[in-house]
Every structure is written in C-alpha cells, then in structure tokens.
Amino acid sequence: MRPLKTLQKLYDEESQVVITEKGSPPRALFYGEGFLQEDLPVGTRVIFPRPPLEGVPNVKAAIRWAINHPEGMDPLHALLRPGMRLTCVIDDISVPLPPMVTPDVRQSILEVVLELCADSGVDDVHLVIANALHRRMTEGEMKRMVGEKIYDAYYPDRYYNHDAEDPDGITELERTSHNEVVAVNRRVAESDLIVYVNINFVPMNGGHKSMGTGVTNYASLRHHHNPKTIRDSDSYMEPKASALYTKNTRIGTVIDQNLKVFHIETTLNNRMFGAPTDFLAKKEEDYTEADRLKFQALRFTLSKLPRAAARKVLNAIPAPYDVTGVFAGATEPTHQKTLEQSWKQYVVPVEGQSDIVIFPIPFVSPYSVNSVLNPLLVQVMGLGYFYNLNRGVPLVKKGGVLILLHPAYDEFDPVQHPSYIEFFHRLLPETRDSMKLEHKYEKEFAENPSYVHLYRKGNAYHGVHPFYMWYWGENGRQHVGKVIVAGAENNHVPALLGWDRTDTLSEAIEEARGFMGRSASISLLRIAPTVMVDVK
C-alpha cells in the first residue's frame, strides 16, 4: 500500500484536471469585462488552479523572522548604522492582480523596516518605486500601497517613482561580460544599502529581475527586452528555460558586485476572489444553488452596464490574497526559496499537450490596472503570459490552435497608453514582424520627445513599451499555427493582429477542428486564479 500522504498527493493533483462528460455543467469563463457560460465538447480537458495555500498566521512576525534569518547575508539590523544612506526599492502596481486587500504586504514590510531604521539611527531613507518604463503611479495608488502614515511621512520628497529618462538620475556601472549596459537609479547606486521590497505574483518576478529591470533605463532594458531573447525563452516562468532570466542574471550579478542589496521577497496564495465572488474560484461541479444564482446575477449586471462602468465595478473588488512566505537576504538563495513556494501554489501536472487550447482573457493585466485592456494587451495576455504559464513545455502543440475569449474592442487609454495607439494603427498595418519593428521603429518611439514627456510628467507608459508588449508574444506567435479570438465584436482588430475571429466559442472550436482534424484534443486553462501547467 502507498503511504496515505502519497495517495493524498495524487488525489490533489488529479482533482485539478476535469475531463468534460455528457453531464458536465457549463463553464463560467472570463470574457473581458463580462462572462460567458459555455458548454464544452465531450472530452475537453479543463485545468483548474490549485486551492489557495494557507497563509502565514502572522505576517509581521514572518517578516521579522525573515530579516533576522536571511539567506547568505547578515541580519538586516546588523547592516544598519547611524548616518548611512538607505533606499527601499518597491515593486510597482503591476503586481498583484487585482490589487490586494489592504494592508498591502509592501506596507507591512516597510512598517517593519522603517521602524528598524529609526531604532538604528538611520534617517536618510528614500522609497523608490521600481516602475522602470511602466507608468508613474498616481498619488492615490501610492498612498494605498504603503498606507497613509508612511505616505504622509515620505511623499513626495522621499517617496517617488523611478524616472528612467532623468539625465541626472541614472548612473552606469561596469558592463557585463557580454558588454550589456548596467544602469541604475542614481539615488539607489549611491546608497550604502538597498532593501528591495518584492511581491512574487508569478515565478517570473523577483530575483535578479527586480533590480536589473525595475530601476534601470532603456539602454539597459533593450539587451533583454528584444525579439531574439524572447524567441530563445521556452518559458518566462521557468528559469532554466528562459534566456530572459539568463540575461537578467548577468546584469543582476554586476549590480550585486557593486551594490549591497538586501532582498525581501514574498509569495501570495491564489485567493483572488473574496466573499461576493468566491464562487469564481470553484469548479462548476461544486457550485451550490446560491453560487449559480450569484453568477447569473453578476453576469447579467455586467452585461447591462456600459463597458467603462463594468470595468470600474471589477477594478473596485480587491483580492484577499494571503501571504504564504517571506524570504530575505542575498539575491539568488532568497529567490530560490521564493520559487519553491511559488511552484507549490501554482503548478498543476498535466499529461501531454493539446491540439487546441482555450484561454479566457479577463479584464485586467499587469499593464492595465485602473485602465483598459487594449488590443495589444489582449495579445500579450494570450500569446505572452498565458502561453508561457508552463515549466518549459507549452500546453498547446507546435502548430496548434489558440482560442482567446475576449471582445477584442478597439479601445485605448490615451493617458496611460498613448504610444500604443500609434503602434497599433500605424505600424501593425505595415508589418507584424518583430525583427522589422525593432530595427525600423523602436528607437524612434523610445526617443520621441512627446512620449518621453508624457512618461516623465504624466502617467503614461514609456514610448517603447508597446514594442515590448508585441515582443512578449513572440514565442507564442512562432509556436502556434493559428489564433482565433472568439466573441470579437469587430473584424479589424483581429485582422491587424493576424488572427481569425468568430462570433462564438462553438464556432471557434469548429474552425480549430477543421484546421487540426476532427479528433483534435482540446484543453481549457481556467485562469484566474493563477495556474501553471507542468506538461509531461
């Protein structure tokens, strides 16, 4: 007989994969700011996220334990001395999704760290948001992230967004062995100690990527944010299979050789939905009658609201994530602990690839918080992030079909995404070839003075950012044979992106079967909450 623990493990793994039968209930699927309720063909494999791991019983105690028992470094209190210059670098609003219920774990970490600094006589402390070429966070978002007390004490002189275009605010360190530029925020570079405050929402976050990407500039980012690097990455989420991770490691190693960085990394469970919408995390087989009524009420309400209002409703529901781990110390040993905890929450073993894979696309992405999921962001969610939610082997077979569920509307936020509008309507009609786009247009957008101004003084993503979003979907584009967007409300958005469109999911499946064969295998990945597949 197998030990009980082994049997329990097998049961837990297998229970996340459900094969559709004749009596299976219809699936509740994200569709932008709304939901679809769809019957899937018999034999369709539906892959559900793991149940949320239990959170640590006391977050502040876990933080204190981690900084007093760090990996590969002295405890934080031993690194502090009166009169030193200390900078806390903080992950920006792109994680987690949706934003977590307050207090945000970044606030909890800063409260512990800043109290320790005060007790140690460290007065020269700055808080820098690691937004890289992302948009500047608004004052309201900054206050929510760290809490009113810290905000009032530090904003605006000592709590601010990183500015990758400030000519006096960036300094270059020595180059890597591959002649890659290593540039960091000047305040950070001139600090005696840097404390990096991280949230690991997916395994791609954290580690060397934190400093090497978060507080740098375009000259450094272009070494790994490019089509070739993306094509050479079998998965962004698996370090051993990621050229992106390898290049970040080279840059991060130079940073660690020149600066003293104390990382505090945190992992969350996938409790994305609270009491009003907790049924969305369940398998439909487990719905109660109350769950079915709540889903129908939510679906009906969202369908009757104007899209902007529906988006506002969904963005107003924070996620009740629990902190499942806090790890601190040197970059690599700390991040290894983080990865192990992250994989425990997200990875579901799956037997074999599928000919057809269905991705429901929700209303939010790392680059559309409090904004619009525009067509380029729909593309990056499907062919970039969701396609890469694996350990190096994608769920869809080479040459297979991806079906995305989203209205694919032609809607952009002119405040947050001004350069996206020009990229989508001017460049994509000319070419979808990432190499040509990089060679011909990337520098023009990166140096465009209007886009630089909007990035520095407004709340706009950097002018080059839409290129990165297009590159991010590169290995997905190279791998699949066809992309179909089911439920697209127009023809021109799918056409510009190089996709087919259908009115319904059933029509998309029929078209995909016509392309792959009538016996084609089908999988549906039920993302959100977050899930990763380990394809055997």
Residue 334 near residue 328, CB atoms below 8 Å? yes
**417: which residues sit within 8 A by CB, 6+ positions away?**
371, 372, 374, 376, 460, 461, 466
**DSSP output for 148-192:** HHHHHHHTTTTEEE--TT-TTSEEE----TT----EEEHHHHT-S
For residue 165 the two structure tokens come to 């275009």
Whole-number pLDDT of residue 115: 98
Closest alpha carbon to 226 in 518, 471, 440: 471
Burial class (CB in 10 A: 0-12, 13-18, 19+), 173: middle
What residues contact 532, with CB distance under 8 A and at least 6 apart? 202, 203, 237, 343, 346, 347, 348, 389, 390, 391
List the domains of the chain with CATH numbers: 4-51+345-535 (3.90.226.30)
- Asked if 535 and 394 count as a contact pair (C-beta separation under 8 A), the reply is yes
Q: Cα(443)–Cα(226) distance, rounded to whole angstroms?
A: 12
Q: For residue 168, how many other CB atoms are within 10 A of its CB? A: 7
pLDDT (0 to 100) of residue 12: 46
**Where would I find the beta strands (DSSP E) of 269-390?**
323-329, 347-350, 354-360
Token pair 């792959």: residue: 516
Mapped onto helix, strand or coil, the DSSP state of residue 492 is helix
Nearest to 221 by CA among 230, 475, 441, 336: 230
- pTM over cut 0.85: yes
Tell me how many degrees the CA angle 286-15-510 measures, rounded to the nearest 5: 80
The whole-number pLDDT of residue 8 equals: 45
CB contact at 8 A, 204 and 219: no
Which residues in the chain show pLDDT less than 50?
A: 1, 6-12
Considering only CA atoms, which of 326, 252, 341, 268 is closest in space to residue 71? 326
Question: What pLDDT score does 167 carry?
Answer: 93
Number of H helices, E strands in the chain: 22, 19
Distance of alpha carbon 480 from alpha carbon 280, whole angstroms: 29
Report the pLDDT value the prediction gives residue 275, as an integer from 0 to 100: 86
What residue has token string 């806090």? 326
Cβ partners under 8 Å of residue 486, min gap 6: 403, 404, 405, 501, 502, 503, 504, 505, 507, 508
